[in-house]
Structure 1
């Protein structure tokens, strides 16, 4: 990445950013907010993310074959928009009405929906960890690494990867299994995640990692 003639990768590396994280032996696949609201025309959160859904669905199938735990996150709000604790977040982003109780846009997209035995986490903020028991659930399963695939890169994926690191899990953000409203926003956030908070890998690299655990 180059900005104003500067090679940012070299610039960041010279300052000590961008180190690599260990790949543990007990990963989980964290599938962040694969909701219909990102895919259906007329939704205020509609985004061009069909391709990354295909990639994430293939990765989920691979994780199931290898008995890697799958965690699905979803967002749900009460109809009262002034209800705590998320009233300020909901005021900031009007499109969050998609996630109100009873709105079908908040349902899982059929290509990426939980099955029996998968963990489902309901949240009200960007991070899958904030205000939930996800960290305790993962620690209880002995998980040491989380593969993160979801929507959107600049929002809930980024927040979840950061909090995964803070809770002691090595976050591996799967670049082509995440998406955003604009590719420039997607790429900028992947760059910053790689520099500071996570390892950014491809789905092919994620599959190789899972295969190496057999």
Structure 2
């Protein structure tokens, strides 16, 4: 980053030798036009994520998924559901199937689906332990939303000692401005923001 801060920001964490793909909250609540968190144009992010999943699977890399789910009555939602009331759509007694992973995406047998109640994929889940046990050193992040769960997960990945790689074309948000500004800030401080071809090339390297 150039400017008044010189090279104070935007260093590179780079790619390690053992990546894993984490697909964050790409569920119908965001991709269905009637969903409570409907995005203006989720199609490109879903398509890019499908490409990443296929590449990771072909090379034998771990693929993990996250979804948000709350108990009946939101007893485990804490203050988050008070701040964002629409999260009630993910309660087990809610109408609709907004928490279902969006087609054509679908976890394969043996791919963990981590249930979370808060923004970060790491908070209150077994993600860090699962990745560490598999020898993972690089976390490739895609999904929604860029400013919310993707950002929180990327920040926590860095704080847990994993190299976060956020794939620009495989994330989406409720406006292009939010998407772009958050990617810019993530790239400056907490993660490497990479384009889809780079991520696909890295994931194509077989797992040894």
Deviations 1:79-125 (A, max 9, x none): 213x13x2210011121122111541111112222110111110000
**Does the alignment pair 1:204 with 2:197?**
yes
**SS at the partner of 1:65?**
helix
Task: Give TM-score scaled by structure 2 length.
Answer: 0.93
Cross-structure match for 2:22: 30
Q: Which runs of 5+ in 2 are unaligned?
A: none
**Does the alignment pair 1:121 with 2:114?**
yes
Cross-structure match for 1:138: 131
**Does the alignment pair 1:148 with 2:141?**
yes
Distance 1:44 1:11 in 2: 40
Cross-structure match for 2:37: 45
Q: Which runs of 5+ in 1 are unaligned?
A: 1-8
Distance 2:189 2:101 in 1: 30
Distance 1:208 1:99 in 2: 35
Deviations 1:42-67 (A, max 9, x none): 22211121111111111111111111
**Does the alignment pair 1:93 with 2:70?**
no
* Alignment equivalent of 1:159, drawn from 147, 152, 156: 152
State the Cα distance separating 1:13 from its structure 2 match. 5.7
Distance 2:36 2:52 in 1: 27
Task: Give TM-score scaled by structure 1 length.
Answer: 0.91
- The answer as to whether partners of 2:14 and 2:192 remain within 8 angstroms in 1 is no
- The answer as to whether partners of 1:12 and 1:195 remain within 8 angstroms in 2 is no
Equivalent residue pairs, number:
204
**Structure 1 or 2: more helix by fraction:** 1
**Structure-2 change in CA distance of 1:28 and 1:42 (3 Å):** same
State the Cα distance separating 1:178 from its structure 2 match. 0.3
Query: Moved runs in structure 1, 4+ residues, more than 6 A?
Result: none
